[in-house]
């Protein structure tokens, strides 16, 4: 066996636990590996180390004085005490200083419940302040974009300054004034309009930087959180969907080193209102003899949909936000009958985050265009070739509510239309023979394939409206009626069938994807990996 | 065969009702002139309630008449009966305030946790017990109703003896 070429490992003891970490790791990261959280404010794994908050002071044996854990690298045989008398006393002192000018407005502060100042003060701060002078006061400032700055609450950790300067390469923020007058200033004539600026709200450990969108909407402890994938573009940023009373109130980035690190853009962050829309399709409908769409039960609607598609070539107009599972089942329908599959996609300007390799708001503004391409769908350009004897299955394609030109003509000349979707655009309502209500991606589970061929799972975070059913479930039932194949009971089963049917997905298993995803087979050969550096 | 009933021939002073009727009337007469009273003449007279009495809620207001509540969300969180419904919002001056604040007094168990947890000393239990309504819906008190109440509020505990020792 050849010698390992990895970095040299260092062994040290933290709070009596033995940590083995690569050389050059900071104490704060080494402590995380053995389950010890060293309190900190200015340190963030996605930002350069500043060492300004002095909160992460720890007691290292044989060091003359306390060391900041974020700026001290590990050394062989080091013995670190995080909760020794000396270290705790130092941190209690730091907290007392931080609270000198911090207002006691937790009841009205949006950060309350997820505030690190609250947590650590509760954990190891003084019960009462000894400060008797009046507190410093600065008025609230609108930073532009989605960000509001409340200087009174600011503890000057400079995470926001470092993010804008070193990660976004748009140094709009700075520390203005010095001493107790210091506050976070904004460069004259500039606003936080950078498409990545919203991350400073997540980075802020206290309630100094707030999202205007989320302001006063909910308390942190009322929210239900579930892991999901952003559908804003084909980057596939890992996110947490936060809901309150079955309504999505905010989206937050979820760390994934391989995709988005700790960040997400404003486009994805604020693009959640459509998820909560109230005009959802919630009952199956079938066109009756009198020519009107009427509510039907699922069995009847699925039978009618199968009758509409049976014996015809089935073409599929799919949404590029449909899951791999739904697209796979739709592809089976069209492949069995010799039909074709298309998707339409919205495009916008690309906006990279310079400080993170291969992270960008992508031009293709849909989550699963790559998955659709791998499964044999093509982007619709021009007029789709649909014969009058064909059938069309629209799979949640709601792009601008209009059907492509050629499709409408084909429908007029005798082609049939089955609509399976989350909403019912007027252009489709007048022509569909059967309408099947589907859940959107927050109401079902499944996988998306991002532009680098990474297959990532998203989980359910809300309940479905009315009788709507998950897309893979509906399409599985439809396939069962058309070709007498067995239906599916779980998305994992659909994924299994997809992995055995499509070479690109072979070797992947739903359970093994975890919540960070795995790349598809031969992503490089399929031209999905980075060929040139995206970072500027 | 006929049943024979033995009839005792008792003296008249043992079987007459006159004596016991008179003794009953004597009791009535005694209470008529005795000043000692047990019955409280409700509703003309009312009980004096303990300062720690926990009755239906009342929301205190600022000098300008607005509810003191800042919609921090602690009372619905601490409420063991889940009877408080709160939706936070923002007023014209940008202050946080309750867009919707409702207490279902039927679900409430009058534990007083909401009063104890309130950082603004806004929501209070009342020293008050006359709650009759004509419909069930009327027992869901909204913010308007809670601020309009005028009855005294509970102390929850005696300041001189906070641990009830």
What ipTM was reported for this prediction? 0.78
Fold of B55-148: Alpha-Beta Plaits (3.30.70)
SS3 A371: helix
Q: How confident is the model at residue B2 (pLDDT cuts 50, 70, 90)?
A: confident
- Which of A284-288, A299-303, A349-353, B46-50 has the least mean pLDDT? B46-50
B17 vs B160 pLDDT, higher one: B17
- For the segment A391-412, the average pLDDT, to the nearest whole number, is 82
Domain with CATH 3.30.70.20 in chain A: 105-115+129-222
Q: With 50 as the cut, is the pLDDT of residue A388 above it?
A: yes
Residues of chain B that touch chain A, judged by Cβ-Cβ distance less than 8 Å = 70-74, 77, 88-90, 94-96, 119-120
Confidence category of residue A534, pLDDT binned at 50, 70, 90: very low
Check residue A530 and give its pLDDT.
65
* Alpha-carbon torsion, ordered A425, A429, A430, A435, to 10 deg: 150
Residue A344 pLDDT > 50:
yes
- Residue B141: strand, helix, or coil: strand
Q: What pLDDT is stored for residue B106 in this prediction?
A: 95
Per-residue pLDDT tens digits for A17-39: 999 999 999 999 999 999 999 99
Does the pLDDT at position A43 exceed 70? yes
What number of helices (H) and strands (E) belong to chain B?
A: 5, 5
What is the fold, at CATH topology level, of the domain defined by A9-98? Answer: Ubiquitin-like (UB roll) (3.10.20)
Q: Is B42 helix (H, G, I), strand (E, B) or coil?
A: coil
Distance from CA of A219 to the nearest CA of B (A): 7
Nearest to B120 among A107, A219, A221 (CB): A107
Of A106, A216, A221, the CB nearest to B88: A216
Task: Give the pLDDT band of residue A535 (cuts 50, 70, 90).
Answer: very low
The predicted structure's pLDDT at residue A536: 34
Structure tokens at B111: 């534990």
Triad A338, A343, A478: Cα angle to 5°: 55
DSSP string, A50-64: ---S-TTEEEETT-S
pLDDT tens by residue, B115-150:
999 999 999 999 999 999 999 999 999 999 999 999
- Measured in residues, chain A has a length of 536
Mean residue pLDDT of chain A comes to 91
- pLDDT number for residue A385: 85
Among A46, A76, A71, A44, which residue's Cα sits nearest to residue A58?
A71
pLDDT greater than 60 at residue A164:
yes
**Helix, strand and coil in chain B, % to nearest 5:** 25, 20, 60
Say which residue, A460 or B31, is predicted with more confidence.
A460
Per-residue CA distances from A159 to A163, A190, A241, A252, A398 (Å): 6, 19, 24, 17, 40
CATH 3.40.50.740 residue ranges of chain A are: 285-519
Give the position of tokens 């400060």.
Answer: A131
Give the residue range(s) of CATH 3.10.20.740 domains in chain A. Answer: 9-98
What mean pLDDT do residues A4-12 have? 84
Q: How is residue A504 written in tokens?
A: 């690109």
Domain boundaries, chain B: 55-148
The predicted-structure confidence for A120-154, as pLDDT tens digits, reads as follows 999 999 988 899 999 999 999 999 899 999 999 99
Residue B40: C-alpha distances to residues A457, B50, B52, B110 (Å): 71, 17, 22, 26
- Partner residue opposite A221 with nearest CB, options B71, B77, B90: B77
In this predicted structure, the answer to whether residue A466 has a pLDDT above a threshold of 60 is yes
What distances in angstroms separate CA B4 from CA B1, B8, B81, one per listed residue?
9, 13, 69
Quick one: what percent of chain A has pLDDT higher than 70? 97
Contacts of B151 (CB under 8 A, 6+ apart): B55, B58, B126, B127, B128
CA distance B120 to chain A (A): 8
Q: What integer pLDDT is reported at residue A399 of this predicted model?
A: 66
Under CATH, which number does the domain A105-115+129-222 receive? Answer: 3.30.70.20
Is pLDDT above 90 for B13? no
pLDDT of residue A533: 43
CA-based radius of gyration for chain A? 27
Q: Note the pLDDT of residue A4.
A: 58
- Selected for mutation to probe chain A from B74, B75, B95, B122 (highest A CB count within 10 Å) is B74
Architecture of domain A285-519: 3-Layer(aba) Sandwich (3.40)
By the 10 Å C-beta count (0-12 exposed, 13-18 middle, 19+ buried), B133 is classed as exposed
pTM: 0.87
Task: From B73, B52, B51, select the one nearest B120 (Cα to Cα).
Answer: B73
For residues A285 and A434, the answer to whether their CB atoms sit within 8 Å is: yes
Does position A485 have pLDDT exceeding 80, yes or no? no
Residue A128 is classified by DSSP as S
Q: With a cut of 60, say whether residue A304 has pLDDT above it.
A: yes
Highest mean pLDDT among A57-66, A485-494, A512-521: A57-66
Q: Whole-angstrom Cα distance, residue A341 to residue A210? A: 44
Contact A324, A505 (CB under 8 A): yes
Give A221's contacts in chain B (Cβ within 8 Å). 73, 77
């Amino acid at each position: 066996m050849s010698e390992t070429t990895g970095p040299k490992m260092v062994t040290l003891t933290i709070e009596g636990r033995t940590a083995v970490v690569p050389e050059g790791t900071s104490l704060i990261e080494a402590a995380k590996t053995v389950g010890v959280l060293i309190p900190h404010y200015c340190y963030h794994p996605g930002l350069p180390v500043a060492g300004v908050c002095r909160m992460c002071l720890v007691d290292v044996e044989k060091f003359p004085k306390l060391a900041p854990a974020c700026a001290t690298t590990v050394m062989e045989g080091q013995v670190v005490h995080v909760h020794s008398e000396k270290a705790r006393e130092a941190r209690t002192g730091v907290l007392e200083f931080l609270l000198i000018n911090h207002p006691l407005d937790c009841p009205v502060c949006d950060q309350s419940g997820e505030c690190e100042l609250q947590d650590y003060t509760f954990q190891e701060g003084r019960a009462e302040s000894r400060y008797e002078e009046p507190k410093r006061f600065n008025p609230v400032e609108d930073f532009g974009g989605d960000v509001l700055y409340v200087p009174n609450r600011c503890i000057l950790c400079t995470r926001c300054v470092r993010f804008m300067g070193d990660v976004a390469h748009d140094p709009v923020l700075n520390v203005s004034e010095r001493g107790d007058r210091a506050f976070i200033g904004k460069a004259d004539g500039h606003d936080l309009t950078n498409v990545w600026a919203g991350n400073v709200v997540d980075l802020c450990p206290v309630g100094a930087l707030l999202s205007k969108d989320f302001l006063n909407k909910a308390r942190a402890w009322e929210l239900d959180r579930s892991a999901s994938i952003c559908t804003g573009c084909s980057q596939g940023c890992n996110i947490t969907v936060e809901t309150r009373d079955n309504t999505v109130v905010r989206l937050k980035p979820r760390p994934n080193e391989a995709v988005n690190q700790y960040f997400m853009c404003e486009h994805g962050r604020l693009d959640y209102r459509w998820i909560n829309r109230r005009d959802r399709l919630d009952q199956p409908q079938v066109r009756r003899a009198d020519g009107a769409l009427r509510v039907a039960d699922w069995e009847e609607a699925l039978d009618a949909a199968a009758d509409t598609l049976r014996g015809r070539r089935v073409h599929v107009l799919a949404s590029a936000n449909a899951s791999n599972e739904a697209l796979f089942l739709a592809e089976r329908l069209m492949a069995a009958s010799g039909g074709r599959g298309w998707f339409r996609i919205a495009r916008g300007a690309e906006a990279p985050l310079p400080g993170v390799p291969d992270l960008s708001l992508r031009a293709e503004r849909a989550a699963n265009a790559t998955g659709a391409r791998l499964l044999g769908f093509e982007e619709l350009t021009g007029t789709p070739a649909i014969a009058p004897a064909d059938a069309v299955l629209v799979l949640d394609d709601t792009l601008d509510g209009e059907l492509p030109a050629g499709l409408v003509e084909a429908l007029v000349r005798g082609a049939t239309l089955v609509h399976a979707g989350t909403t019912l655009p007027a252009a489709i309502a007048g022509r569909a023979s059967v309408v099947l209500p589907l859940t959107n991606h927050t109401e079902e589970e499944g996988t998306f394939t991002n532009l680098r061929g990474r297959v990532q799972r998203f989980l359910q975070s809300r309940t479905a409206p009315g009788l709507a059913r998950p897309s893979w479930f509906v399409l599985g039932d439809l396939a069962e009626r058309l070709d007498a194949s067995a239906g599916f009971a779980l998305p994992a089963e659909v994924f299994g069938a997809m992995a055995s049917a499509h070479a690109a997905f072979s070797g992947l298993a739903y359970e093994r994807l975890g919540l960070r995803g795995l790349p598809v087979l031969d992503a490089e050969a399929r031209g999905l990996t980075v060929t040139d550096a995206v970072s500027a | 065969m006929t049943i024979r009933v033995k009839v005792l021939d008792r003296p008249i002073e043992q079987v007459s009702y006159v004596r016991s009727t008179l003794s009953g009337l004597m009791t009535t007469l005694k209470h008529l002139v005795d000043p000692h009273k047990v019955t409280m003449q409700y509703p003309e007279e009312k009980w004096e309630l303990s300062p720690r009495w926990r009755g239906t809620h009342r929301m205190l207001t600022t000098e300008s008449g607005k509810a003191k509540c800042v919609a921090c969300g602690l009372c619905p969180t601490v409420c063991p009966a889940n009877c408080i419904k709160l939706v936070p919002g923002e007023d014209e001056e940008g202050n946080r305030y309750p867009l919707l604040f409702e207490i279902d007094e039927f679900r409430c168990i009058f534990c007083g946790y909401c009063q104890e947890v309130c950082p603004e000393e806004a929501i209070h239990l009342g020293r008050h017990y006359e709650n009759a309504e004509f419909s069930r819906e009327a027992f869901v008190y909204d913010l308007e109703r809670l601020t309009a109440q005028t009855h005294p509020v509970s102390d929850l505990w005696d300041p001189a003896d906070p641990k009830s020792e």
